Structure 1
Amino acid sequence: MKLIENWKLTLIGAWSVRLIALACLISAVPVFVSLVSPGLLGIDPIVFAALAVFVNALAIPARLIAQAGLSDMLREFRADDSGAVSRRSVGVLGTGGVALAAAVIFIGQWEGLRTSAYQDVVGVWTVCYGETKGVKPGDSHTKAECDQMLAQEIGRYEAALDRCLTADVPVGMKIALVSWTYNVGAGAACRSALVRKANAGDLVGACHELPRWNRAGGRVWRGLTNRRLSERNMCLEAIARAA
Structure 2
Amino acid sequence: MPALLWDRKSVPPAATVVVKRIEGFFSNPYDDNGALPGGTWTIGYGTIVDADGKAVTPRTAAITEAQAQELLRRDMGGAARDVAQRVNVELTENEAAALISWTYNLGGGNLSKSTMLVKLNSHQKSGVPTEMRKWINQEGKPLVGLLRRRWAEAAIFSGIDPINACVLAWKNIDSLDDWPDFPNA
TM over 0.5: yes
Q: 8 Å contact 2:26–2:43 — kept in the other structure?
A: yes
Matched, 1:91 2:9: yes
Secondary structure of the structure 2 residue equivalent to 1:115: strand
Residue ranges of structure 2 left out of the alignment (5+ in a row): 161-183
1:129 matched residue in structure 2: 45
Counting matched residue pairs gives: 152
CA radius of gyration, larger in? 1
2:135 alignment partner AA: W
- Please say if residues 128 and 154 of structure 2, whose CA atoms lie closer than 8 Å, have aligned partners that are also in contact: no
Structure 1 residues 207, 124: closer, same or farther in 2, change over 3 A?
A: closer
Once residues 186 and 127 of structure 1 are traced to their aligned partners in structure 2, the CA distance between those partners, rounded to angstroms, is 20
Label 1:184 to 1:124 Cα distance change in 2 as closer, same or farther (>3 A). closer
TM-score by length of 1: 0.55
Uncovered stretches (5+) of structure 1, i.e. residues with no partner? 2-80, 94-98
Call closer, same or farther: CA 1:149–1:166 in 2, change over 3 Å: same
CA distance in 1: counterparts of 2:67 and 2:20, whole angstroms: 13
- TM-score with structure 2 setting the length: 0.71
SS of the equivalent of 2:90 reads: coil
Q: Tell me, yes or no, if structure 1 residue 203 matches structure 2 residue 125.
A: yes
- The one of 146, 156, 165 equivalent to 1:234 is 156
Identity among equivalent positions (%) equals 25
Q: Relative to structure 1, is the Cα distance of residues 212 and 145 closer, same or farther in structure 2, using a 3 angstrom cutoff?
A: same
Q: 1:199 to 1:219 in 2, by over 3 A?
A: same
Greater CA drift, 109-118 or 124-133:
124-133
Q: Distance in 2 between matches of 1:185 and 1:234?
A: 19
Which of 111, 114, 122 aligns to 2:23? It is 111
1:149 aligns with 2:67: no
Superposition deviation, residue 107 in structure 1: 0.8
Partner of 1:192: 114
